């Protein structure tokens, strides 16, 4: 049985979930994590609910074989479509990214919320349901911004191309809906935060941008070790991916701003070493 010194598993469709992992390691520096990016099957954002649920259960079961004591579904699309299925499939606590940030935004918003996500996350309406559970008076609009994912993967985070993409996706919605709170409901969007903030400013708005990581870290701590004294040693992070580790490392280093990370290939469907 996993104990308090066991790692916590974090998974995503690929490298994007590293933006969430960063918040988790900051909030729980003594905790060890295993991050698994399903790079062989990315993207999840355009796939059907059944496929995303099947992949997510598959990955979650694999992380349990590595002895994880809790799991974080860092992927918004997987949290939207598969949180219940993963919780049913395994017996350790499972935290998704949709609910924690929704609870935070419901507390803080002045009433007008914009949700940015993948097509799958938008279609699932998971954020609408989560926000609605906390407040019934919110005016909420959703917007899928699929091109943000490849832009982030390519490292095109600044300059004319991402600015034009952001303006094309967002200008009309921002001007018409005039949100005070914007949820970056996709793992990759925090990397384009500056460009998104630029579009918000260009629309003359003073909206707060919310990432999923910090709120998710708060919920994870509440589910796992809030009563434990923090040990003095630093936790480790082991990176696994289902496709070429060199590609994962190249993008992952840029995402994390850490040139030291290494990754191992894991073959989903065979036993861990
Ligand atoms: N990780 C996904 C999400 O947060 C974005 C990338 C994908 O489409 O798989 O929804």
Asked about 186 being catalytic, the answer comes back as yes
Residue 199 maps to a domain: yes
Residue with tokens 């996706």: 169
Range of the domain at 53: 8-96+214-265
pLDDT score, position 269 = 65
Closest CA to 184 of 195, 171, 176, 175: 195
Closest CA to 72 of 182, 199, 223: 223
Residues 197, 235, single domain; the answer is no
Q: What predicted TM-score, i.e. pTM, was given to this entire model? A: 0.94
Ligand 1 centroid–CA 31 distance in Å is 25
Q: Probe ligand 1: pick from 18, 186, 212, 243, max atoms within 8 Å of CB?
A: 186
C-alpha 116/C-alpha 119 separation (Å) is: 9
Q: Does residue 199's CB lie within 6 angstroms of at least one atom of ligand 1?
A: no
pLDDT per position as a tens digit, 161-203: 999 999 999 999 999 999 999 999 999 999 999 999 999 999 9
pLDDT per position as a tens digit, 193-224: 999 999 999 999 999 999 999 999 999 999 88
Residues 113, 165, single domain; the answer is yes
pLDDT per position as a tens digit, 223-254: 886 445 556 688 999 999 999 999 999 999 98
Q: Does residue 12's CB lie within 6 angstroms of at least one atom of ligand 1?
A: yes
Q: Does residue 77's CB lie within 6 angstroms of at least one atom of ligand 1?
A: yes
CATH of the domain at 84: 3.40.50.1860
Ligand 1 centroid–CA 231 distance in Å is 33
């Amino acid at each position: 049985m996993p104990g308090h010194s066991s790692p916590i598993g974090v998974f995503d469709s690929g490298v994007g979930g590293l933006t969430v992992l960063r918040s988790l390691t900051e909030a729980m520096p003594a905790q060890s994590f295993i991050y698994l990016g399903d790079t062989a099957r990315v993207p999840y954002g355009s796939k059907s609910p059944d496929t995303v649920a099947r992949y997510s259960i598959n990955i979650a079961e694999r992380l349990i074989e590595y002895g994880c004591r809790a799991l974080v579904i860092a992927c918004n699309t997987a949290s939207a479509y598969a949180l219940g299925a993963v919780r049913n499939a395994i017996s350790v606590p499972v935290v998704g990214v949709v609910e924690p940030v929704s609870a935070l935004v419901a507390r803080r918003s002045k009433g007008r919320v914009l949700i940015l996500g993948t097509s799958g996350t938008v279609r699932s309406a998971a954020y609408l349901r989560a926000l609605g559970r906390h407040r019934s008076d919110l005016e909420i609009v959703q917007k899928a911004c699929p091109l943000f994912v490849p832009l982030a993967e390519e490292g095109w985070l600044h300059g004319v191309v991402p600015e034009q993409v952001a303006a094309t996706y967002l200008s009309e919605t921002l001007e018409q809906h005039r949100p005070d709170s914007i949820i970056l409901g996709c793992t990759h969007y925090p990397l384009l935060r500056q460009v998104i903030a630029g579009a918000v400013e260009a629309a003359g708005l003073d909206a707060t941008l919310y990432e999923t990581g910090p709120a998710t870290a708060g919920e994870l701590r509440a589910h796992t070790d809030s009563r434990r004294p923090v040990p003095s040693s630093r936790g480790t992070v082991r990176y696994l991916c289902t496709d070429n580790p060199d590609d994962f490392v190249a993008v992952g280093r840029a995402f994390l701003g850490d040139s030291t990370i290494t990754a191992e290939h894991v073959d989903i469907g065979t036993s861990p070493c």
